[in-house]
Amino acid sequence: MFHKVLVANRGEIAVRVIRALHEMGIRAVAVFSEVDRGALHVQLADEAVCIGPAPSSESYLSGANILSAARKTGAEAIHPGYGFLSENAEFAKSCAEAGIKFIGPPWQAIEQMGSKTMARRIAIEVGAPIVPGTDSGIQDYEQACQAAAKIGYPVLLKASAGGGGKGMRRVDNESELQSAMRAASSEAERAFGSGEIYLEKLIELPRHIEVQVLGDEHGHLIHLGERECSLQRRHQKVLEESPSPLVLANPDLRARIGEAALRIARAANYASAGTLEFLADQQGNFYFLEMNTRLQVEHPVTELVTGIDLVRWQVRIAAGEPLTIQQEDVHWTGSAIECRVYAEDPENNFFPSPGRIAQYAEPSGPGIRLDGGVYPGWTVPIEYDPLLAKLCVWAENRPAAIGRMRRAVSEYRVLGITTNLQLFDRLMRNEEFAKGDLHTGFLDQFMTRTKSTADGQSALVAGIIAAAHAQAKTQAAPSEAAPRSFWQLEGRRRMLR
């Protein structure tokens, strides 16, 4: 087992990994940019190294700086967390060449599955259902026109080298295609260093279901079930849960989608923790989208329902240990929900709200887990993703989990900045959410409905206040016919004497 591991990340995921390392008796090395000098992950680590200025391109995305920090501190392995360099095959390869273990899949698997078009080809080869689309990057406008006409509009343009909504554009007809291609390719180039895009049929209002897999370096691979990730804004997940309400309604779906995920992962010779993402319709049909060759933000809900610590297993697998869990050993108990708590304003188009946290109080009690990376007095920097914490709950069933999350949200206090906690409070009280009738357009529709209701209520309150104010002014205005009070007359007489 490793004696010292460097955590190449920041925020709540760096804190999460450091805590797992300490539980395993492993020393943790933090890296930080100049703006993160006082960050919580820096305070919790055994050692910390500054790797550059605030821009991530000069710090957290600098593989050279991170490898230099690992050599300087004698770290035997690097855990990348998620984001930044976690799915960078070149960085993983550089770690291997430097004799430092990359805690994640082999760089060849990252390269193979990191290409969305190559991943689609692998899925086709193993017989997994996929969304109709192109199996290679689009070379020019003419090719895109032919592919879109064959598939049928609406279609999606997507970046071949990455996800998270970057380089993604919806196209409803041919007249929109050329400008959408330019925009998607340009955004993909900025985000991933590659402007290659491919085309996919747009499935209207599907569910977004993902499957967690875990494999060792000895060829043993299992799945840990599914997560419901349909609540999104701009293709970024906001709330996740396990099990999916769709699986609760279709009990055989978990086995079918889990087996498809394993076929794809085995074909890529995958090891470590990874996630395969699918779209599903209301009838239980599902289609492979892509694979994320890393730990997911929403991994805690899987840990809560299975009792399996994914980060600890990542470390153990990277150290060469065999996975001792068989597929039949995996059991799912109860229901878990995760809310991503961001420093942002949902009422202002989710605009980021960085700044100093004046007061901070975390919820506690039965069934609550909070993976956080902030503290009172910490200034949330504008340079990075505004994720503050992941608020998670577990309960014996989904209705109980919703009630517990409602209670947890009501206890959570973050003052000094704007957060999205009120959004989660409204969601937990929403009847449609409680029914589990979810899809990828649910949150947008919910925001539109609640905004209209809020605007109507605000207008009503404003009208009542205005009417009351007018009435008060009328009552306060002196009437020529009304007799003047005694003190007014008496006071005036005294002044005249």
Provide the annotated active-site residues: 294
DSSP annotation string for 217-250: TTS-EEEEEEEEEEEEETTEEEEEEES-HHHHHS
Q: Which segments of 76-187 are extended strands (E)?
A: 77-79, 101-102, 155-159, 169-171
Give the amino acid at 294: R
From the list 266, 268, 245, the residue with the least C-alpha distance to 106 is 268
Q: Which long-range contacts (CB under 8 A, 24 or more apart) does 64-72 make?
A: 65/31, 66/6, 66/8, 66/31, 66/91, 67/94, 67/95, 67/98, 67/100, 69/6, 69/29, 69/31, 70/6, 70/29, 70/98, 70/100, 71/98, 71/100
- Contact of 355 with 380, CB cutoff 8 Å: yes
- Contact of 152 with 105, CB cutoff 8 Å: no
C-beta neighbour count of 193 within 10 angstroms: 11
- Assigned token pair, 403: 């009630």
Dihedral angle over CA of 195, 200, 205, 209, nearest 10: -80
Dihedral angle over CA of 324, 329, 335, 338, nearest 10: 20
Q: Is 388 helix (H, G, I), strand (E, B) or coil?
A: strand
- Assigned token pair, 131: 């969304």
479 backbone dihedrals φ, ψ, rounded to 5°: -105, 140
Q: Is 207 helix (H, G, I), strand (E, B) or coil?
A: strand
HSE, side-chain direction, 13 A CA sphere, residue 380: 30
Using CA atoms, how far apart are residues 179 and 171, in angstroms rounded to an integer?
10
- Assigned token pair, 48: 């910390």
DSSP annotation string for 57-75: GGTTT-HHHHHHHHHHHT-
Task: Determine the distance from the C-alpha atom of residue 449 to the mean position of all C-alpha atoms in its chain, rounded to a whole number.
Answer: 23
